[in-house]
Amino acid sequence: MTVELPEANTATDEKVRSAPAPPDHARADQIAEDVYCPACAYNLRTLTSNRCPECGLDIAFIKSAESHLPWMNRDKVGPVRAYLMTVWMVVFRTKHFCLEMSRPVDEVEARRFRRITITLAFAPFLLFTLVLRFLRPDAFDAFVGFGGYTFAVAAHAAILAAFLTVTAVPYYVIRHPDIALDRQRRAAALTLYCAAPLSLTGIAGTLAIVGIASSRLYNRDVDLAFYLAAVGVLLILAAVTVFDVQRVIRGMLGGARRSWPIILRLYCFGVLAAFLCFVGVPAAVAFLMIVIHSAF
Ligand SMILES: [Zn+2]
């Protein structure tokens, strides 16, 4: 078949139709980008039907390459609402969220979302310590007892470092040689959104602060129950985060491949990162404090 591309633009409609469509003149109902079937990972690019040719799945809902993540629509709904809607999607509509790896994922925006999430996750810890310091100085002194303010600084540095490193681990471990590189990148970018449940540590922070306030009001040690409840909330949020990451990993693999090697890697590096943060960072802070104290 001969194609006269230069003339095609000025040719009659019939001539244009008979020529194979070049990429920039793709038909309107064609999938223009690399969009993958969520069930079998088949590349649906240039497809016009609503069924995956490989597995028959109804793919009408992912035909558009436009992101369904509310975070990507914040110019329309506003940044706060878009953020909260994204947290809701990641936590409660995980399946829908995982479908996003079928279409392009903006990694810069995913990183921005994670940075905001870590700020929101860390702030309640700082607030709790300040409230403890001013409402219950006795409890604060007992808390920082053996290390004074060095302990408080080291503990917060370790928590912040742990949030920064542990939430980045899935991004690096989610690799599989059988999966298209493009799909791996999208899944990796989606794991950055999986930090979303951690933005709710404010719930744990509120419980802990209520504990401080109540123990001050009633002058009795009723705060322990609130502290335990706060720790319980933190554990639930961490579990939801890990669950979301595992869903993304399984989604990327498409069910046909074993997910446990990646999940095992996730746990090993996650625990290692947390260990380094909670042991290495306090050690570094303590060393720095000793150097500063001995210098003045
Ligand atoms: Zn399919």
Nearest-10 crossing angle of helices 107-135, 148-166: 160
Asked if residue 295 has pLDDT above 80, the reply is no
Provide the 10 A C-beta neighbour count for residue 238.
15
146: confidence class by pLDDT, cuts 50, 70, 90: low
Q: List residues bridging with 43 in a β-sheet.
A: 36
What is the CA(257)–ligand 1 centre distance, in A?
15
Burial of 69 (0-12, 13-18, 19+ CB in 10 A): buried
Q: List residues bridging with 36 in a β-sheet.
A: 43
What is the CA(225)–ligand 1 centre distance, in A?
50
| Mean pLDDT rounded to a whole number for the chain | 86
Q: Where are the alpha helices (DSSP H) in 136-259?
A: 137-143, 148-166, 169-173, 181-193, 201-218, 223-253
Quote the tokens at residue 6. Answer: 């230069």
What is the CA(254)–ligand 1 centre distance, in A?
10
Mean pLDDT of 171-176: 94
Provide the 10 A C-beta neighbour count for residue 80.
9
Estimate to the nearest angstrom the gap between the alpha carbon of 22 and the chain centroid.
37
What is the CA(47)–ligand 1 centre distance, in A?
12
**Cα–Cα distance for residue pair 4/79, rounded to 1 Å:** 49
279: confidence class by pLDDT, cuts 50, 70, 90: very high
What is the CA(53)–ligand 1 centre distance, in A?
7
Higher local confidence (pLDDT), 156 or 135:
156
What is the CA(32)–ligand 1 centre distance, in A?
17
| Sequence-separated (6 or more) residues with CB below 8 Å from residue 69 | 86, 89, 97, 100, 105, 193
Quote the tokens at residue 156. Answer: 């917060």
Asked if residue 12 has pLDDT above 50, the reply is no
SS3 (DSSP) at 102: helix
**Cα–Cα distance for residue pair 155/277, rounded to 1 Å:** 10
What is the CA(63)–ligand 1 centre distance, in A?
12
For ion ligand 1, residues whose CB falls within 5 Å = 37, 39-40, 42, 52, 54-55, 57
For the full predicted model, state whether its pTM sits above 0.85: no
**Cα–Cα distance for residue pair 228/147, rounded to 1 Å:** 23
What is the CA(101)–ligand 1 centre distance, in A?
14
What is the CA(44)–ligand 1 centre distance, in A?
8
**Cα–Cα distance for residue pair 235/228, rounded to 1 Å:** 11
Q: Which of 31, 28, 7, 30 is nearest to 19 (CA)?
A: 7
What is the CA(42)–ligand 1 centre distance, in A?
5
Asked if residue 205 has pLDDT above 70, the reply is yes
Q: Which of 33, 32, 35, 112 is nearest to 72 (CA)?
A: 112
What is the CA(41)–ligand 1 centre distance, in A?
6
Nearest-10 crossing angle of helices 148-166, 281-295: 140
Q: Which of 152, 168, 139, 106 is nearest to 282 (CA)?
A: 152
Quote the tokens at residue 235. Answer: 């554990």
**Cα–Cα distance for residue pair 11/26, rounded to 1 Å:** 17
What is the CA(68)–ligand 1 centre distance, in A?
20
85: confidence class by pLDDT, cuts 50, 70, 90: very high
Q: Which of 253, 136, 111 is nearest to 190 (CA)?
A: 111
pLDDT digits (tens, 9 = 90+) for 66-76: 898 999 999 99
What is the CA(75)–ligand 1 centre distance, in A?
33
